[in-house]
Structure 1
C-alpha cells in the first residue's frame, strides 16, 4: 500500500495533507466554519470561496467584457461565450454545446424521447400524456370541433389554423 492511500476507497495522494482532506469525504467532517452564517466546509479553500458571498469579492474578471466572478471556473465557463468554442458534442445528433451541463441536459431529452413508444407505429413520446394523445390519432378521435362550422380536428393546432380560414372569409 502506498504511504498516502485512503483505506476507505484506495485512492492515493502525493501529499499526506491531500489524503487528510480527502478522508473528510468519507467521515463527513466539516471543520471549516463560516463566521458570518455558520455554514461548514470540508476544505479550507471551499470556505474561502464561500466567504466571497459575504464580502462581495469578485476576483476573477473577464478581460473581454469586464464581468467579474467569485470562482475561477465560472469565469472560464463564461469566456467560452466570447470565443464561440463549443467543445461538447452529442454523439447521437451531432449538436455542439459550450458547457458540459448543456450537453447533459440535451442528452436527457434524447433519452426521454424514446421512453414511451406507441406499439403499432413505433413513434416515441417523452411522456405518457403525449402518448395517450397520439393514441387518439390511431383511433380517429377528433376532440377539437370548430365553433363556427362544426368540423372536428385531432389537434388543437389544426383547429387554430382552420379557424383563420373563417376570419379570411369575413
Structure 2
C-alpha cells in the first residue's frame, strides 16, 4: 500500500477551523492544551522559547498563544489560592481546584470507578465498550478506542524525514526519543546467550529462545543426538 509522506487526508473545512495544528502530522486540535498533549505523547522536542519567561514550546502556534497569556498582568490570570499555580482559563482553574479537594463526583454506572472531572469519566467509559471509532488515517485497516492510541500507532507510517531521532550507531531513525533509546540498547549489548549446538550467540534472551524454536536449530540438534548414538 502506498502512503503519502506523513500526510493524512483531511476535510479542508475542518483544518481551516482549527488554529492549533501539529507541524509533524498536520492534525488539527481545538485547543493549545490538546495540541500540547499530542506533541508530548509523541515525544516531539520543544524548540520554541518564550523570550519573557524562557519556557519552551513545540511549535510557533503554541509559543504565540503562550506569549499572549504571558503579557497579561498577574491579576488578570487565574491563580490557585491553595498552591499558587497559574492556570490559563477559569475552566482549568475550576478543574484544578476539584483535584485539590480530593472529591470524585463523577461516578461510572458500570463499575466502581469515580473521577474528578467529567472528561476523565468520559474517557473511562470507552473501556466498557468494544467500539473502536478511531481508524488509522493512513488506511492500514487498524482501529482504536482512543484518539491517543491512534496517534501512537500512526508513528509507524511516518516518513523518515519526520523521524528526527537518529541512532548514533546505524542509519535508523525514530519518531520519539524513547524509541531511539530502546533501539540503541541493542547496539551496546554483548552476545552472552550462546547456542552450543549451532555455535551462534545472541544479544537477548528473547532472541535466544526464539532461535531454540527454529527449524534450523532443531535440525542440528537432531543430527547431534543421532551422532552420539
State the TM-score, normalized to the length of structure 2.
0.43
What does residue 45 of structure 1 align with?
91
What does residue 130 of structure 2 align with?
84
Counterpart selection for 1:97 from 120, 144, 148 = 144
Give matches, 1:16-165, under 5 Å: 26-28=68-70, 29=72, 31-91=77-137, 92-111=139-158, 146-148=195-197, 150=199, 152=200, 156-157=207-208, 159-161=211-213, 162=217
What is the distance in 1 between the residues matched to 2:78 and 2:114?
26
What is the distance in 1 between the residues matched to 2:126 and 2:94?
26
- Report how far residue 24 of structure 1 moved: 7.7
Residue 61 of structure 1 contacts residue 68 of structure 1 at CA under 8 Å; is this kept in 2?
yes
Moved more, 86-95 or 26-35: 26-35
Residue 135 of structure 2 contacts residue 141 of structure 2 at CA under 8 Å; is this kept in 1?
yes
Residue 88 of structure 1 contacts residue 99 of structure 1 at CA under 8 Å; is this kept in 2?
yes
Across the two proteins, how many residue pairs are aligned to each other?
128
List structure 1 runs of 4+ shifted beyond 3 angstroms.
Answer: 112-116, 125-130, 152-161, 163-170
* Alignment RMSD: 4.2
- Report how far residue 49 of structure 1 moved: 0.4
What is the distance in 1 between the residues matched to 2:67 and 2:106?
28
Unaligned runs of 5+ in 2: 1-18, 20-64, 164-171, 175-179, 187-192
Residue 197 of structure 2 contacts residue 220 of structure 2 at CA under 8 Å; is this kept in 1?
no
State the TM-score, normalized to the length of structure 1.
0.56
- Report how far residue 69 of structure 1 moved: 1.0
